[in-house]
Amino acid sequence: MTAPAFRTVPGDGGPLRVAVVGAGAMGRAWLAAVAASPDVELACVVDVDPSVARAAADAAGATGVPTGADLTALAAATDPDAVVDVTVPEAHLPVTLTAFELGLPVLGEKPAAATLPEALCLAAAAELSGLLFMVSQSRRYNAELTRFRDETRRLGRLGILTTEFFRAPRFGGFREAMPHPLLLDMAIHPFDTARWLLDAEPVSVYCQEFNPSWSWYAGDAATTALFEMTGGARYVYTGSWCSPGLETSWNGAWRASGERGSAVWDGDHAPAAEVEGEAEAEGAPPAPPAARVAEGIDGALAAFVHALRTGTVPRGEIHENVMSLAMVASAVLSARTDRRVLLADVLATARAEAAELAEAEVRDILLAHGRGR
Ligand X SMILES: NC(=O)c1ccc[n+]([C@@H]2O[C@H](COP(=O)([O-])OP(=O)(O)OC[C@H]3O[C@@H](n4cnc5c(N)ncnc54)[C@H](O)[C@@H]3O)[C@@H](O)[C@H]2O)c1
Identify which of residues 27 and 261 has a Cβ nearer to ligand X in the complex: 27
- Residues 256, 155 contacting (CB under 8 angstroms): yes
Rg (alpha carbons) of the chain, rounded to whole number: 21
Nearest-approach distance from CB 25 to ligand X, in angstroms: 4
Give min distance, CB of 204 to ligand X, in A.
26
Q: How far is the CB of 223 from ligand X (least distance, A)?
A: 18
**Nearest CB to ligand X, comparing residues 72 and 230:** 72
Name the minimum Å distance from CB 341 to ligand X.
Answer: 23
Give min distance, CB of 236 to ligand X, in A: 22
Q: Is 68 helix (H, G, I), strand (E, B) or coil?
A: strand
Q: How many helices (H) and strands (E) does the chain have?
A: 12, 14
Buried b (16+ CB within 10 A) or exposed e, 242-257: bbeeeebeebbbbebb
For ligand X, the closer CB: 83 or 155:
83
DSSP sequence for 75-144:
HHHH--SEEEE-S-HHHHHHHHHHHHHTT--EEEESSSSSSHHHHHHHHHHHHHHT--EEEE-GGG--HH
User: Of the two residues 24 and 311, which places its CB atom closer to ligand X in the complex?
Assistant: 24
Within a 10 A sphere around the Cβ of 302, how many other Cβ atoms?
20
- 142/262 with CB nearer ligand X: 142
Burial class (CB in 10 A: 0-12, 13-18, 19+), 354: buried
Least distance in Å: CB of 89 to ligand X?
A: 5
- If the CB atoms of residues 28 and 351 are measured against ligand X, the closer one turns out to be 28
Chain positions contacting ligand X, by CB under 6 A: 21-27, 46-49, 52, 86-89, 91, 94-95, 109-110, 138
Nearest residue to the partner ligand X, using Cβ: 24
CB of 298 to ligand X, least distance (A): 12
95 by Cβ neighbours in 10 Å (0-12 / 13-18 / 19+) ranks as: buried
- Minimum gap (Å) between residue 26 Cβ and ligand X: 3
Q: Which is nearer to ligand X, 44 or 46 (CB)?
A: 46
Beta-strand relationship, 222-229 and 234-240: antiparallel
Nearer to ligand X, 15 or 94 (CB): 94
